[in-house]
Structure 1
Amino acid sequence: MIKIYHNPRCSKSREGLLELETLNQPIEIIKYLDNPISKEELQDILKKLNYKPIELVRKNEPIWKEQYKDLKLSDDAIINAMIEHPKLIERPIIIKNNKAIIARPKEKIKEIL
C-alpha cells in the first residue's frame, strides 16, 4: 500500500494524489492537518526520507518566519514545531514500504515505485 500525507488545499499535494490514483494501487490518504501526526510517526517519516528535521520544514510559511526562523533550534525542537504546526510540514509525502519522498514535482513518485 502507498501512503500519502495530503493537504487537499495544496495544489502540489492534489497533483501528487491524482498521479497516485493513476497507478491503480491501494492508497491510504492521511490528511495530516485534520489528523495530526504523532512525534514517533514524524520521526519515522524523517528516517524513511533520510532527512534532517529542518529539511522537512516549509520555511516560507508565516508561522516559521514569525516564530522560529531566527532561533537556533535542536532537531527535537524542530520536530515539536512541526507537530504543533503541521502546516510547516513539506508536502505531499509519499511512502511505500520503507521508502519515502516529497512528491514535488509529482514525477518524483516514480522514484519509489
Structure 2
Amino acid sequence: MIKIYHNNRCGKSRAGLKLLEDSGKEYRVINYLETVPTFEELKKIIDMLGIRPIELVRKNETIWKENFKNKTLSDEEIIDILLNNPKLIERPIVINENRGVVGRPTEKILEIL
C-alpha cells in the first residue's frame, strides 16, 4: 500500500495528498509530526528515496539555522536531529512498495504510482 508522510499545515503536502486521492489508489496517511518514525524506519525511508539524510532536511527552518547549520554532522546524527525535530523533515514523502519520492514538485509522486 502507498504511504504518504504528511503534514496538513504544508501546502505541498496537501497537494500531494490530493494527487493520491485523485489517483484512486489505496493509500495510508502518516502524520509524521504525531507519529514520528523510528530511527530504523527513517533510515529505510531515506534508503528508498535514494538520498543522503542531509537532503531530507528543511534547511530554511529556524531550528536548523539556529542549532545545526554549518556543523559537521554524521548521517546518524542528522537522522537523530530529524527524529527529535520532525518539523525539519522535507514533505510530503510518498512510498510505494520499495520506492519513494519527496513530492516537490508534486508531480514527482506520479513517478512511483
Q: TM-score, normalised to structure 1's length?
A: 0.98
Partner of 1:39 in structure 2? 39
CA distance in 1, matches of 2:109, 2:70: 33
SS in 1 for 2:100: strand
SS in 2 for 1:16: helix
Offset at residue 25 of structure 1 (A): 1.1
Partner of 1:68 in structure 2? 68
Amino acid at match of 1:26: E
Q: TM-score, normalised to structure 2's length?
A: 0.98
Amino acid at match of 1:82: L
Offset at residue 106 of structure 1 (A): 1.1
Runs of 4+ in 1 over 2 A off after TM superposition: none
CA distance in 1, matches of 2:99, 2:45: 9
Offset at residue 76 of structure 1 (A): 0.7
- For structure 2, the residue ranges without an aligned partner over 5 or more in a row are none
Amino acid at match of 1:86: P
SS in 1 for 2:13: helix
Superposed counterparts of 1:2-21, under 5 Å? 2-21=2-21
- For structure 1, the residue ranges without an aligned partner over 5 or more in a row are none
SS in 2 for 1:91: coil
**What root-mean-square deviation, in Å, do the aligned CA atoms of Structure 1 and Structure 2 show?**
0.6
CA distance in 2, matches of 1:31, 1:8: 8
Offset at residue 105 of structure 1 (A): 1.2
Amino acid at match of 2:76: D
CA distance in 2, matches of 1:106, 1:79: 24
CA distance in 2, matches of 1:70, 1:109: 31
| Identity rate, percent | 54
